[in-house]
């Protein structure tokens, strides 16, 4: 009986996939809506917008592919994978999309389909890998690096609670509770760039201290 109920739930969910791009956008946060803009428009806009600060990043992977640009977005109903992620995995869409975006092609990238039962693996604070499946839309945001947006559909499935003030995400799976470390990124700055910037700041500080001692 439980299998039948689970199957019916899955069928209802699949049939509720957005049928137009406007329907999809209405289920996404302002963050994801901006990320779904074409890369040409993104380059014209400043990446210092405050909406980047709402993202909480975490270490996640799909199969053996580690995705550094993985983040939780509780303002988006659906999650998304970008074109670079799908190409790296060598997948084809389970469910082709029929989004009509001809009038918005200059501003919004095309959704290329849906992927069901995607295994998303994340590590808890003790280093244990936890895997839960979910359904994700495929988008082409013009970026060459793989990206994974985890929306509310997946978050609710794992009874997730996001706590940015403590940089953690609590989830429950198979009756067990896990605490996942999260972090934020400065707008438009990647982790390597941020580490390089921090190193330079440290070197500048040492130089300033040396000059200060010599002056004394």
Tell me if the pTM is above 0.85. Answer: no
Please state the rounded mean pLDDT for residues 138-150.
87
Q: Are 84 and 143 in contact (CB under 8 A)?
A: yes
Mean pLDDT of 194-215: 44
Measured in Å, how far apart are the chain's first and last C-alpha atoms? 82
CB-neighbour burial class of residue 106 (10 A; exposed 0-12, middle 13-18, buried 19+): exposed
Domain boundaries, the chain: 2-185, 189-216
What is the average pLDDT value for the chain, to the nearest integer? 73
pLDDT band at 22 (very low <50, low <70, confident <90, very high): low
Neighbours of 122 (CB within 10 A): 23
**pLDDT, position 100:** 37
> How many angstroms separate the CA atoms of 149 and 107, rounded?
20
**Distance, CA of 100 to chain centre:** 24
Compare 4 and 19 and report the one with higher pLDDT.
19
- Pair 120, 154: CB distance under 8 Å: yes
* Residue 158 predicted with pLDDT over 50: yes
74 pLDDT tier (thresholds 50, 70, 90): confident
Q: Are 120 and 148 in contact (CB under 8 A)?
A: yes
- The highest-confidence range among 21-30, 51-60, 111-120, 150-159, by mean pLDDT, is 150-159
CATH number for the domain formed by residue range(s) 2-185:
2.40.70.10
Q: How far apart are CA 67 and CA 120, in angstroms?
A: 10
Place of tokens 């495929």: 138
DSSP, res 53? G
Does position 165 have pLDDT exceeding 60, yes or no?
Answer: yes
Write the DSSP symbol of residue 40. H
Backbone angles phi, psi at 73, to 5 degrees: -135, 95
- Cα separation, 163 vs 122, whole angstroms: 16
Q: Tell me the C-alpha distance between 125 and 141, whole Å.
A: 31
pLDDT for 128: 95
Confidence of residue 65 (pLDDT cuts 50, 70, 90): very high
**Residue 110: count of CB within 10 angstroms of its CB:** 18
pLDDT bin (cut points 50, 70, 90) of residue 37 is: low
Burial of 116 (0-12, 13-18, 19+ CB in 10 A): middle
Handedness of CA 115, 85, 166, 128 (dihedral sign): positive
């Amino acid at each position: 009986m439980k299998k039948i109920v689970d199957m019916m739930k899955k069928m209802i969910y699949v049939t509720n996939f957005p049928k137009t791009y406007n329907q999809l956008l209405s289920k996404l946060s302002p963050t994801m809506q901006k990320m779904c803009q074409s890369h040409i428009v993104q380059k014209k806009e400043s990446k210092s917008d405050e909406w980047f600060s709402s993202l909480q990043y975490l270490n996640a992977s799909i199969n053996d592919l580690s995705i550094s640009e993985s983040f939780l977005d509780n303002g988006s109903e659906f999650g998304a994978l970008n074109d670079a992620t799908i190409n790296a995995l060598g997948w084809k869409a389970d469910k082709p999309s029929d989004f009509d975006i001809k009038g918005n092609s200059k501003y919004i990238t095309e959704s290329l389909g849906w992927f069901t039962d995607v295994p998303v693996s994340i590590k808890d604070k003790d280093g244990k890998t936890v895997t839960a499946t979910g359904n994700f839309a495929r988008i082409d945001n013009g970026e060459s690096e793989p990206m994974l947006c985890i929306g509310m559909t997946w978050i609710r499935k794992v009874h997730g609670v996001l706590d940015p003030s403590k940089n953690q995400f609590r989830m429950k799976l198979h009756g067990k509770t896990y605490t996942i470390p999260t972090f934020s990124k400065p707008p438009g700055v990647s982790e390597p760039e941020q580490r390089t910037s921090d190193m330079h700041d440290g070197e500048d500080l040492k130089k300033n201290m040396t000059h200060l001692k010599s002056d004394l």
